[in-house]
Structures are given as structure tokens and as C-alpha cells.
């Protein structure tokens, strides 16, 4: 049985630190974040890339700073972006639908070459309308997996040919919005938690096996209280997922959560 554990920021187990780099990116919503396991940009240390409002930002560890990654040609602002890294290709893949108030949204698939610092728009057939939720990149198969915004559908984009397919797994998470999603690339498993459904906040955990194309709802103990819009990431060194924050609304103002 899998087990959820509460980790307190005042303990020695986990401490959340407020970092103070010399520069900060401009405020943005709906951004996508990508950590490079090895530095493909400047050879100094691990980098974290953030695609926000059509700009690419580089968060370096050496030095501890943000910098604008000055790409000549870059994607437009994208809604619900999925951003993943393929270490064998040294490339990041960004998929989603453009966000605009002046024209019809367009389906977007982009490849970022971290070695040359260049973006290239990929040829792609029309993205399914229901591929409008969170996603992850399965580097073992060279494909981007995108869920529907209510988590009930699972779609696949093969990045080499630009074709989409509805994977139609036998079971899927019950419909909910604002779910948290994290992917273990070595185990090829995605973890989904919580969300909001009809004014309720389920605290169930779902696991997607990318190799078998199956969703399962394993028994867990100690699950956190239900919430929407939490942040979740996979910790490879401890084979665990970390969940932070989120929000709930119950007959009044939104309550923001700060637990881990």
C-alpha cells in the first residue's frame, strides 16, 4: 500500500527557503517549468527553464539568478502548456493552445534545442479539443501525453510525426478540474491527486502507467485533505511525489493551503 506523509517545514526533513536572486522574471500566469538534469546551455550548473507569456527564462544555480534566454524565434503565449525534456535529444518540447484575445487560438507544438538555444515549430495535426489539460513528456517513447481539463481523457502526441491519438485507457480518473499531476520518467508513471468536482474536493490518488496505458486508483493511507490547484513534483532520489499548497472554497472566500 502506498502512503502519504505530511512533512512540516519547521522540521529537519524538509525546509522551504525563500531565495533572493538578483533578478526576477515579470509576473506571469499559466507558465510551464522544465528542469534540465544536466546543463545544456552554458556548462556551469543545472538549469531550470520557464516558458512564460511566450518568453523563455533560465533559472541558473551557478550563479543563483534568473536571466532572459534571448531566443530569436519563440512560441506565442500558450494555455495549459505541457513542457517536457528529452535527455537523449537534448531538447525540450512544448505543446498547448495559443492564448489570444485578437484572433482564434492556434494549436502549438514547439521544440527547444538546448544546445543551440533555438526554438523550432513542429508540424502537428489538429490537437484534439479535449487535450486541454495538464500533460507530461514520456521521453522513453518520444511522445507528449496530454489529459483533458477534467482528467477523463488521455491523449498522445508523437513528436516525430505530429500525429495525435486518443489512448482510450480502460479506466480513467473521475471527472475533476484543478488536479495536480507529476511524472516519473524513469518508471514511466504519472501521479494525479485531488482537484475539484461539483463543489467537492476528492483526495484520491491515480497512477497512469505509460507503458501499459492504464490508470489505476491504488489504496493509500494518510492522504492529504482534498484540494484544487496544488503543485506536485516527482522526487527521483526518494521515489516519492511532493505535494504543496492548493486551495478550497466552501461557501465563502477561497482558502489557500500551505501544507506539504
- The answer to whether residue 208 sits within a structural domain is yes
Domain boundary among 150, 168, 186: 168
- The answer to whether residue 22 sits within a structural domain is no
38 has a pLDDT exceeding 60 = no
Q: Are residues 219 and 189 part of one domain?
A: yes
Q: How far is CA 249 from CA 6, 52, 134, 252, 259, in A?
A: 22, 27, 22, 6, 16
The sheet that has 135-138: what strands, in order across it? 135-138, 143-147, 154-158, 163-166
Task: Place 1 in a pLDDT band, splitting at 50, 70 and 90.
Answer: low
- The answer to whether residue 81 sits within a structural domain is yes
85-127 per-position pLDDT tens digit:
898 998 889 898 887 666 678 888 989 887 887 888 999 999 9
pLDDT of residue 188: 96
pLDDT of residue 40: 40
Q: Which of 50-59, 129-138, 247-256 has the highest mean pLDDT?
A: 129-138
pLDDT of residue 154: 98
Q: Are residues 200 and 131 part of one domain?
A: no
Least confident of 93-102, 173-182, 203-212: 93-102
128-153 per-position pLDDT tens digit:
999 999 999 999 999 999 999 999 99
pLDDT of residue 201: 96
pTM of the entire predicted model: 0.80
Write the CATH number for 117.
Answer: 2.120.10.80
pLDDT of residue 4: 67
pLDDT of residue 81: 80
Q: Are residues 213 and 195 part of one domain?
A: yes
Share the mean pLDDT of the chain.
79
Q: Are residues 90 and 141 part of one domain?
A: yes
Q: What's the rounded mean pLDDT across residues 194-221? A: 95
Pairwise pLDDT comparison (10 vs 233), residue with the higher score: 233
Domain limits for position 124? 30-168
Q: What's the rounded mean pLDDT across residues 65-84? A: 63
Domain boundary among 130, 153, 168: 168
12 has a pLDDT exceeding 70 = no
Q: Are residues 158 and 54 part of one domain?
A: yes
68 has a pLDDT exceeding 70 = no
234 has a pLDDT exceeding 70 = yes
Q: Are residues 180 and 107 part of one domain?
A: no
- The answer to whether residue 6 sits within a structural domain is no
Number of domains in the chain: 2
Domain boundary among 126, 148, 168: 168
Q: What's the rounded mean pLDDT across residues 210-235? A: 93
- The answer to whether residue 1 sits within a structural domain is no
Amino acid at each position: 500500500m502506498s502512503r502519504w506523509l505530511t512533512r512540516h517545514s519547521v522540521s529537519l526533513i524538509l525546509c522551504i527557503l525563500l531565495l533572493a536572486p538578483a533578478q526576477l522574471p515579470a509576473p506571469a500566469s499559466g507558465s510551464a517549468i522544465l528542469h534540465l538534469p544536466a546543463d545544456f546551455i552554458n556548462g556551469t550548473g543545472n538549469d531550470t527553464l520557464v516558458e512564460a507569456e511566450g518568453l523563455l527564462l533560465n533559472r541558473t544555480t551557478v550563479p543563483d539568478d534568473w536571466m532572459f534566454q534571448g531566443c530569436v524565434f519563440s512560441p506565442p503565449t500558450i494555455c495549459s502548456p505541457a513542457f517536457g525534456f528529452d535527455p537523449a535529444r537534448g531538447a525540450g518540447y512544448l505543446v498547448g493552445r495559443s492564448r489570444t484575445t485578437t484572433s482564434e487560438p492556434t494549436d502549438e507544438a514547439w521544440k527547444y534545442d538546448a544546445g543551440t538555444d533555438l526554438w523550432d515549430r513542429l508540424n502537428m495535426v489538429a490537437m484534439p479539443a479535449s487535450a486541454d489539460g495538464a500533460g507530461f513528456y514520456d521521453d522513453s517513447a518520444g511522445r507528449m501525453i496530454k489529459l483533458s481539463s477534467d482528467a477523463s481523457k488521455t491523449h498522445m502526441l508523437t513528436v516525430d510525426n505530429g500525429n495525435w491519438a486518443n489512448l482510450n485507457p480502460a479506466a480513467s480518473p473521475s471527472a475533476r478540474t484543478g488536479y495536480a499531476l507529476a511524472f516519473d520518467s524513469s518508471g514511466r508513471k504519472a501521479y494525479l491527486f485531488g482537484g475539484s468536482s461539483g463543489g467537492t474536493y476528492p483526495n484520491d490518488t491515480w497512477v497512469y502507467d505509460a507503458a501499459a496505458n492504464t490508470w489505476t486508483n491504488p489504496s493509500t493511507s494518510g492522504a492529504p485533505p482534498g484540494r484544487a490547484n496544488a503543485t506536485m513534483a516527482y522526487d527521483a532520489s526518494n521515489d516519492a511525489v511532493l505535494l504543496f499548497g492548493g486551495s478550497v472554497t466552501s461557501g465563502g472566500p477561497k482558502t489557500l493551503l500551505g501544507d506539504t
